[in-house]
Amino acid sequence: MMGVKRPLLVSLLGVLVTVTVAGGRRGGSMPGAPSNISRDDRGLQRVVLSAAYSFNNQSNDAFLFKPSFIIRAQRQVVNGVRYIVDLEISRTVCRKRDNNDDLSHCDLQPKGRLQQMFQCHFEVWLIPWQNQTNTQVFFCKP
């Protein structure tokens, strides 16, 4: 009797593993896993702009920088929303001393000596119901 039950159990486990693995491939991303999002996503745009302001506050450069290209953007829903973003941030023609708060009015520096760009990676966790934003990772390199 034991010999009959064991092959049946092994067969059922094999079917379960096959269905689970096949379902994981076809079913898309797992709940709670990061997923790619559109560069036009409103939440992403707010987070990217906030990152640019943070970069400018930490930079000693005389000019303001603004996002010039979003390389990769992901969102993860985990007790709030976590954004994982790689982007390029470039020097604009606007000087910090002019107190220009609206980066949309700042053109990028033309090709030449003053043109500068950084590649940045940041991860921001938003908890809207607590009105809380936590920047977990933020680093840039030339």
- 49 shares its domain with 114: yes
- 68 shares its domain with 41: yes
- CA triplet 71, 74, 77: central angle to 5 degrees? 165
Highest mean pLDDT among 19-23, 24-28, 72-76, 97-101: 72-76
- 21 shares its domain with 38: no
How far apart are alpha carbons 140 and 142 in whole angstroms?
7
Residue 93 to residues 31, 36, 96, 103, 112, Cα–Cα distance (Å) = 43, 32, 10, 10, 12
- 49 shares its domain with 15: no
Q: Which domain holds residue 97?
A: 31-141
Q: For 32-89, how does the pLDDT look when each residue is reduced to its tens digit (9 = 90+)?
A: 899 999 999 999 999 999 999 999 999 999 999 999 999 999 999 989 999 999 999 9
- 50 shares its domain with 114: yes
- 14 shares its domain with 75: no
- 23 shares its domain with 91: no
- 90 shares its domain with 61: yes
Which contiguous run of DSSP H or E holds residue 116? none
- 129 shares its domain with 108: yes
Q: For 99-136, how does the pLDDT look when each residue is reduced to its tens digit (9 = 90+)?
A: 877 899 999 999 999 999 999 999 999 998 999 989 99
Q: How many domains does the chain have?
A: 2
Residue 22 tokens, joined: 């096949």
Residue 122 tokens, joined: 């940041």
Closest alpha carbon to 68 in 114, 112, 113, 103: 103
Hunting for tokens 């000019």 — which residue is that? 63
List, in sequence order, the alpha helices (H) in 1-142.
Answer: 2-26, 42-58
